[in-house]
Amino acid sequence: MEDKGPGAITKIWAVCFYYGLGDTKGGNLKIYLDGEDEPTIFCNFFELLQGKDFVQPPLAAETRRAGNCYLPIPYAKGCKVTMDKKVFYNIINYRSYPEGTKVRTFSMEEYRQSAELVDNVKQILAKGCVQDEEETRNSLRTVRQEKRLSPGGTLELAIANNQKPGAVRLLTIRLQADDQAQALRSTVLKASFDGERTIWTPVGDFFNIGVGMKSYRMWERAVEEDGTMVCRWVMPYRENSKWSLENLGQQTVTAEISITSGPYTWTDQSMYFHTSWRMDDPTPGFPLFDYNLVKIEGTGVYVGDQFTVLNPEQGWWGEGDEKVYVDGETFPSHFGTGTEDYYGWAGGVVPNPPDEFDEPFLANVRVASPNSMGYNTCTRTRVLDAIPFEKNIDFNIESSGSNRSSWFHLQYAVNTFWYAKPGAISNRKPLPNMASRKLMTLEELQQFNESCKRNKYIFPGAIEAENIDTYWISEGVLPHEGAKVWGELSNGAVKAFTFGRKGEEIKVRLTELFEKTHLKVCLITSNESGEFEIKVNGAAVRTVNLASEHSAVETIDLGEFIPEDNALVISFVCKSPGSLGIDYFLTK
């Protein structure tokens, strides 16, 4: 990683094995600040992230084959991070500040001088989400209510006192029902601040447990052994805050809610606390697509999320990378390496219940058995690595698991947490029909997938390469038998060739095109694939290197073209020998 100008590293994550589970030593890390010739930090990478070097837990800690470090490392002029071995999977979150921002650069001397402060922070974080009795006595006010909620029933609670403006500083809820898992999904928490509704979320998803009771403890949220669910996110308001619990299910639920509030200084920088919940019918894991958690218009800060998935088979469910677009950017400023990596742990093996953990800002709350088959829930709180946005934010995670078949479906329920100035809006609206729905069982999702196997996968609008008869093939290019890919081939087939020498070429003519056409081509990547220059109507468009450890399909966007004689001629010219597999073309 290298950054010019003022900034700060806010979080570092990495897998703590090096090109294989057997090597847990890894490389050494050097962090150079402000252009200095000598590194300010020089230590073993894994030991730093696991809390075994100068940063101690919970500021740095191991989380199941991975490590996370939250020590802020600010720099005034620039930062460069290096390793003395080939880099393996890692993510460095950092902030870049505007030029001229005054920043005091991190130093080991100041860190050692701050030992007492650092130790206090570690102790506070280690306590997790507990109520501070001294704080409670200091000008805070608590209101409580308990009620039996028949189907359709509502419990309402208003925070209106002389503390204006104010802020909710502690929220606790308990639910009791014959079917507690269903109650956690069908009992919805709603809240508005100064008349602006910002919270509409099933209770279980708000408190990170998804489906079924589960105890854990993080910094700002927890579920105690007795079923008390706790939240300490600060939620400011100018005049008032109104809360309710609504039973959308078919059973009676006993609900208890307690809200503690106190004074707050409201300024033009103050923001309301928001949650956004999304749940869908079973979602396909192939073809790959970006599953949108939330899109927000306004000014705010994104501070966390929880991800619950019903996985219908033994195997890993979360290969997808997170992609976060801020303020209209065309390439995401946060682009990750996999769902487990985003939530702070690591793959290498299919997770089981021993992989559950809870740290101040991360928790693998629920891991299904055996081998993740069933309901799983992960969550992450973003603190120093929170994502500010001035105009909008678009947060996505690819829908992708280890089974890349069009018939294979997972079911997601996700919740996001964010602050925003008054007037912000999101694309996630209340979903009472989803919250009231009977929880899908593992067996029901498995039966649904079995029924989907009868449907042949054909990508919508595909011009199947194997069905085209307008190929021209230069001498030396040979037909290639099929292709095995991680995923499915549209129509179950591919047109494939083997190129033995540089300069060999094939051409294919797409006809019946009468106006400007947007052209894409889906190609095969593999360890046998070559490198090719792609031309359209004789003009070079781009060069693609299809060599990859993973045999998969990749869609290449070639751009817009004006047909000649109502046709486009696509050429593939060999730059490096190997195979070329074409699944389909798209002309829309």
| pLDDT, tens digit, 9 for 90 and up, residues 333-366 | 999 999 999 999 998 899 999 999 999 999 999 9
Residue 300: per-residue pLDDT? 98
Residue 160: band (very low, low, confident or very high) from pLDDT cuts 50, 70, 90:
low
137: pLDDT strictly greater than 60: no
Q: Mean pLDDT across the stretch 141-145?
A: 93
Residue 139: per-residue pLDDT? 78
Residue 588: band (very low, low, confident or very high) from pLDDT cuts 50, 70, 90:
confident
CATH of domain 2-127: 2.60.120
Distance CA 58, CA 61 (A): 6
Per residue in 37-76, is it b (16+ CB within 10 Å) or e — as a string?
Answer: eebbbebebbbbbbbbbebeebbbbbbbbbbbbbbbbbbb
Q: Mean pLDDT across the stretch 258-282?
A: 96
461: pLDDT strictly greater than 70: yes
Instruction: Tell me which of 285 and 121 has the higher pLDDT.
Output: 121
135: pLDDT strictly greater than 60: no
Residue 516 token pair: 């400007």
Q: 278 CB contacts (<8 Å, ≥6 apart)?
A: 292, 293, 294, 412, 413, 414, 415, 428, 431
Q: Mean pLDDT across the stretch 494-500?
A: 96
Nearest to 322 by CA among 275, 387, 383: 387
Please say whether the beta carbons of 577 and 499 come within 8 A: yes
Residue 256: per-residue pLDDT? 97
Q: What percent of the chain has pLDDT over 90?
A: 90
Residue 158: per-residue pLDDT? 87
Residue 134: per-residue pLDDT? 52
Does this chain's domain 2-127 share its CATH topology with 463-586?
yes
pTM over 0.85: yes
Instruction: Tell me which of 454 and 295 has the higher pLDDT.
Output: 295
**Length of the chain counted residue by residue:** 588
| 369-408 per-position pLDDT tens digit | 999 999 999 999 999 999 999 999 999 999 989 899 999 9
Q: Which CATH architecture has domain 138-451?
A: Sandwich (2.60)
Q: What is the per-residue DSSP string for 459-478?
A: -TT-EEGGG---EEE-TT-E
133: pLDDT strictly greater than 90: no
DSSP annotation of 347 reads -
Q: 443 CB contacts (<8 Å, ≥6 apart)?
A: none
Nearest to 326 by CA among 116, 490, 95, 523: 95
Q: Mean pLDDT across the stretch 91-111?
A: 96
Residue 163: per-residue pLDDT? 65
Residue 87 token pair: 């880099």
**Three-state secondary-structure class, residue 111:** helix
**Domain residue spans of the chain:** 2-127, 138-451, 463-586
Nearest to 68 by CA among 120, 7, 16: 16
Residue 162: per-residue pLDDT? 60
Q: What percent of the chain has pLDDT over 70?
A: 98
Instruction: Using alpha carbons only, give the angle 312, 315, 317 rounded to the nearest 5 degrees.
Output: 70
The CATH label, of 3.40.50.300, 3.40.50.720, 3.10.20.30, 2.60.120.260, for the domain at 463-586 is 2.60.120.260
Q: Mean pLDDT across the stretch 443-447?
A: 98
430 Rama sector, left if φ>0, alpha if ψ -120 to 50, beta otherwise: beta
**Averaged pLDDT of the chain:** 95
Q: What is the per-residue DSSP string for 200-242?
A: EEEHHHHTT--SS---EE-SSEEE-TTS-EEE---EEESS-EE
330: pLDDT strictly greater than 80: yes
Nearest to 403 by CA among 356, 353, 342, 445: 445
238 to each of 119, 192, 264, 286, 398, how far by Cα in Å? Answer: 35, 12, 9, 47, 38
Mapping DSSP onto H, E and C, the string for 145-168 reads EEEEECCCCEEEEEECCCCCCEEE
R_g of the chain computed on alpha carbons = 27
**Three-state secondary-structure class, residue 509:** strand
| 49-85 per-position pLDDT tens digit | 999 999 999 999 999 999 999 999 999 999 999 999 9
**Three-state secondary-structure class, residue 132:** coil
Instruction: Tell me which of 163 and 144 has the higher pLDDT.
Output: 144
Q: Which residues pair with 169 in a beta bridge?
A: none
| 273-320 per-position pLDDT tens digit | 999 999 999 999 888 899 999 999 999 999 999 999 999 999 999 999
Q: Mean pLDDT across the stretch 500-521?
A: 96
196 to each of 133, 242, 269, 415, how far by Cα in Å? Answer: 31, 10, 17, 19
349 to each of 64, 316, 345, 355, 464, how far by Cα in Å? Answer: 10, 8, 11, 10, 36
How many CB atoms lie under 10 A from the CB of residue 340? Answer: 24
Q: Mean pLDDT across the stretch 541-568?
A: 94
Burial of 555 (0-12, 13-18, 19+ CB in 10 A): middle
| 468-487 per-position pLDDT tens digit | 999 999 999 999 887 788 88
| 32-49 per-position pLDDT tens digit | 999 999 999 999 999 999
Residue 20 token pair: 């294989």
